[in-house]
């Protein structure tokens, strides 16, 4: 089994405030349908709440923060799931059921490295 | 190399992919399996010409490769789990033929997996299934060797780390998957067909097509694809004279490979019979190629049959290029004006040199030399390989 992180990219939105009821329902439905492989996951507050941290001048150096996400793109990281699947085919099949996949967004799937 | 040496080399090459496929299954690593198989192949090439070919060459290669793999795992001192796995390899129990068959099929479908980019699929298929070296693949696809090495590493890493499964797809997944496999093989073929200096790639694609046809003898797509490649390859000796392309109309048909034509035509029949409801597109394209292959001369071509096959092709594969080819066939049957009207009605081919070249040809036949000249110039400006461009320049000069 491999653990996959399914990153949900979609138009930036505030789930907490503004997610339409039907979309929340769709996600609940996904949660039930994929319960067997979901190991975790959450929605994220919009990128307006993001802070990006860098340290300059090596370890212990100056902490530099910028307001906003690491990369400014039209589609933002809006949430994620951790999925444990037999292989990439199962992970893709599962990700295809995440509502953002057909609501104008896309899901990026990456295997998670298992440090022994 | 001696004839005997040649025969050994050919045999080793043919068995190589099967041995590799099995070894990937038992070791779970493409890289390790490749190294071990390569070592076994080298050993076979050294000893078989001297000691004679063993009774069961595949089993010999498999045993030798498995031993190499075990040695390798021990040398590397891998984790306990891997060590334990290596123990299972010590006794290479005889693999039943269907397991070997499935191993190879798994390998084909893994190399041509839709989760890999098409570039990576083609590279991996050439490297792993056709057994070309990274340098050969790079040369064949005209990419710097370092780029190709990186592309292959990335593809193998994705197979291993992201978990692209090494399994034969379920029956209901086959049609989709097979389309990708066929596209990859046909792309390899076209790389070799379009550029005569790389005709080795076309031969590799035909070989892959044969492997697929052996593995899936009932699949119309596979049979149609092999038929199409064989029929196109049958014209190889006549297609290019002194480095210059020769049009179908002008080819010396006595140079065509009669054996390839016979095999291709038989395969077309089987492929079409196996898909009566919705004909496979490769089979239909092969049927068109067969019309040409069976005609004694260009003048005697049965254009009615060619046009009807194009009509069938449009029902399963409607693209502007297919429409263009159909229009050219209509021009042969009904005259240049009828053909030109159809060519002009095809949208979205402004950037396609053959659209302009076909227009030029038909305009010339209709006596409109000025428009023909302009069309040839448009074709030449759209980027063509040099022998083809040279051919068009000569047609342009002939206009006067």
For the segment B142-162, the average pLDDT, to the nearest whole number, is 92
Give domain status of residue A116, yes or no.
Answer: no
With CA atoms as reference, the chain B residue closest to A86 would be B163
Q: What is the mean pLDDT of chain B?
A: 88
pLDDT of residue B275: 86
The answer to whether A20 touches A10, Cβ cutoff 8 Å, is: no
Q: Quick one: pLDDT band at residue B86, thresholds 50, 70, 90?
A: low
Residues of A within 8 A of B165 (CB-CB) are: 86-89
pLDDT of residue B197: 73
Task: Note down the domain range covering A31.
Answer: 2-111
**Contact at CB, A88 and B163, closer than 8 angstroms:** yes
Q: What angle do CA B353, B355, B361 make, to 5 degrees?
A: 100
- A112 in contact with B, Cβ within 8 Å: no
Last residue of a domain, one of B59, B94, B129: B94
A–B CB contacts, 8 A cutoff, strictly below? 23
Q: Which of residues 35-74 of A touch B (CB under 8 A)?
A: none
Q: Quick one: pLDDT band at residue B8, thresholds 50, 70, 90?
A: confident
Task: Note down the domain range covering B394.
Answer: 328-399
Q: Which of A2, A83, A88, A110 should be substituted to probe chain B, the one whose Cβ sees the most B Cβ atoms within 10 Å?
A: A88
Give domain status of residue B381, yes or no.
Answer: yes
Given its phi and psi angles, is residue B242 left (phi above 0), alpha (psi -120 to 50 degrees) or beta? left
CATH of the domain at B334: 1.25.40
Among A88, A110, A111, beta carbon nearest to B165 = A88
Least confident piece of the model among B1-10, B67-76, B343-352: B1-10
Give domain status of residue B69, yes or no.
Answer: yes
Minimal C-alpha gap between A83 and chain B (Å):
13
For the segment B370-394, the average pLDDT, to the nearest whole number, is 88
Q: Quick one: pLDDT band at residue B94, thresholds 50, 70, 90?
A: low
Give domain status of residue B105, yes or no.
Answer: no
* Neighbour tally for B203: CB within 10 Å: 15
pLDDT of residue A16: 67
Per-residue pLDDT in tens (0 to 9) along chain A, 116 residues: 999 999 999 988 776 666 666 778 899 999 999 999 999 999 898 898 899 999 999 999 999 999 989 988 888 999 999 999 999 999 999 999 999 999 889 999 999 998 86
Q: Give chain B's domain count.
A: 2
Give domain status of residue B59, yes or no.
Answer: yes
Task: Quote the CA–CA distance of A83 and B47 in Å, as a whole number.
Answer: 50
Q: Give chain A's domain count.
A: 1
Give domain status of residue B334, yes or no.
Answer: yes
CATH of the domain at A46: 3.30.70.1060
**B276-289 pLDDT, tens digit each:** 889 999 999 999 99
Chain B contact residues (CB < 8 Å to A): 115, 161-165
Minimal C-alpha gap between B132 and chain A (Å):
28
**Contact at CB, B162 and A88, closer than 8 angstroms:** yes
Among A85, A92, A111, beta carbon nearest to B161 = A111
**B96-129 pLDDT, tens digit each:** 777 777 888 889 899 999 899 988 998 998 888 8
The answer to whether B370 touches B389, Cβ cutoff 8 Å, is: no
ipTM over 0.85: no
**Contact at CB, B163 and A110, closer than 8 angstroms:** no
Given its phi and psi angles, is residue B335 left (phi above 0), alpha (psi -120 to 50 degrees) or beta? left
DSSP class of residue B52?
-
Tokens of B174: 């086959």
Give domain status of residue A65, yes or no.
Answer: yes
Give domain status of residue B166, yes or no.
Answer: no
Start-to-end Cα distance in chain A: 14
């Amino acid at each position: 089994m491999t653990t996959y992180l399914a990153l949900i990219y979609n138009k930036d939105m505030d789930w907490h405030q503004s997610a339409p009821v039907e979309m929340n329902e769709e996600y609940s439905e996904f949660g039930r349908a994929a319960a067997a492989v979901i190991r975790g996951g959450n929605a994220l507050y919009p990128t307006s709440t993001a802070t990006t941290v860098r340290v300059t001048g090596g370890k212990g150096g100056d902490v530099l923060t910028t307001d906003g996400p690491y990369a400014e793109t039209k589609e933002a990281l809006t949430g994620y799931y951790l999925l444990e699947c037999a292989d990439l085919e199962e992970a893709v099949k599962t990700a295809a059921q995440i509502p953002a996949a057909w609501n104008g967004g896309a899901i990026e799937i990456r295997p998670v490295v298992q440090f022994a | 190399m001696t004839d005997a040496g040649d025969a050994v080399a050919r045999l080793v090459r043919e068995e190589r992919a099967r041995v590799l496929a099995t070894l990937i299954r038992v070791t779970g690593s493409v890289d390790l399996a490749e190294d071990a198989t390569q070592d076994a192949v080298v050993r076979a090439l050294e000893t078989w010409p001297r000691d004679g070919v063993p009774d069961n060459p595949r089993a010999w290669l498999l045993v030798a490769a498995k031993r190499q793999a075990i040695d390798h795992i021990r040398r590397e001192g891998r984790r306990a789990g891997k060590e334990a796995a290596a123990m299972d390899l010590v006794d290479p129990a005889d693999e039943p033929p269907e397991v070997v068959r499935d191993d190879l099929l798994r390998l084909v479908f893994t190399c041509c997996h839709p989760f890999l980019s098409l570039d990576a699929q083609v590279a991996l298929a050439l490297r792993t299934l056709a057994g070309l070296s990274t340098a050969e693949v790079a040369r064949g696809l005209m990419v710097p060797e370092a780029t190709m090495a990186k592309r292959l590493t990335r593809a193998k890493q994705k197979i291993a780390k992201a978990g692209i499964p090494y399994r034969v797809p379920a029956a209901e997944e086959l049609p989709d998957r097979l389309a990708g496999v066929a596209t990859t093989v046909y792309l390899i073929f076209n790389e070799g067909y379009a550029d005569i200096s790389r005709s080795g790639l076309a031969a590799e694609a035909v070989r892959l097509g044969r492997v697929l046809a052996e593995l899936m003898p009932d699949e119309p797509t596979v049979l149609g694809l092999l038929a199409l490649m064989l029929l196109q390859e049958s014209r190889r000796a006549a297609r290019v004279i002194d480095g210059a392309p020769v049009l179908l109309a002008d080819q010396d048909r006595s140079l065509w490979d009669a054996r390839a034509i016979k095999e291709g035509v038989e395969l077309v029949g089987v492929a079409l019979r196996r898909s009566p409801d919705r004909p496979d597109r490769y089979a239909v394209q092969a049927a068109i190629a067969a019309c040409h292959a069976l005609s004694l001369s260009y003048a005697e071509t049965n254009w009615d049959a060619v046009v009807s096959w194009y009509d069938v092709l449009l029902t399963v594969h409607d693209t502007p290029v297919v429409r263009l080819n159909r229009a050219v066939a209509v021009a042969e049957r009904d005259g240049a004006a009828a053909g030109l009207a159809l060519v002009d009605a095809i949208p979205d081919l402004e950037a396609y040199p053959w659209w302009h070249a076909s227009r030029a040809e038909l305009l010339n036949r209709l006596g409109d030399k000025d428009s023909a000249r302009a069309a040839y110039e448009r074709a030449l400006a759209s980027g063509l390989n040099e022998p083809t461009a040279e051919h068009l320049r000569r047609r342009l000069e002939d206009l006067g």
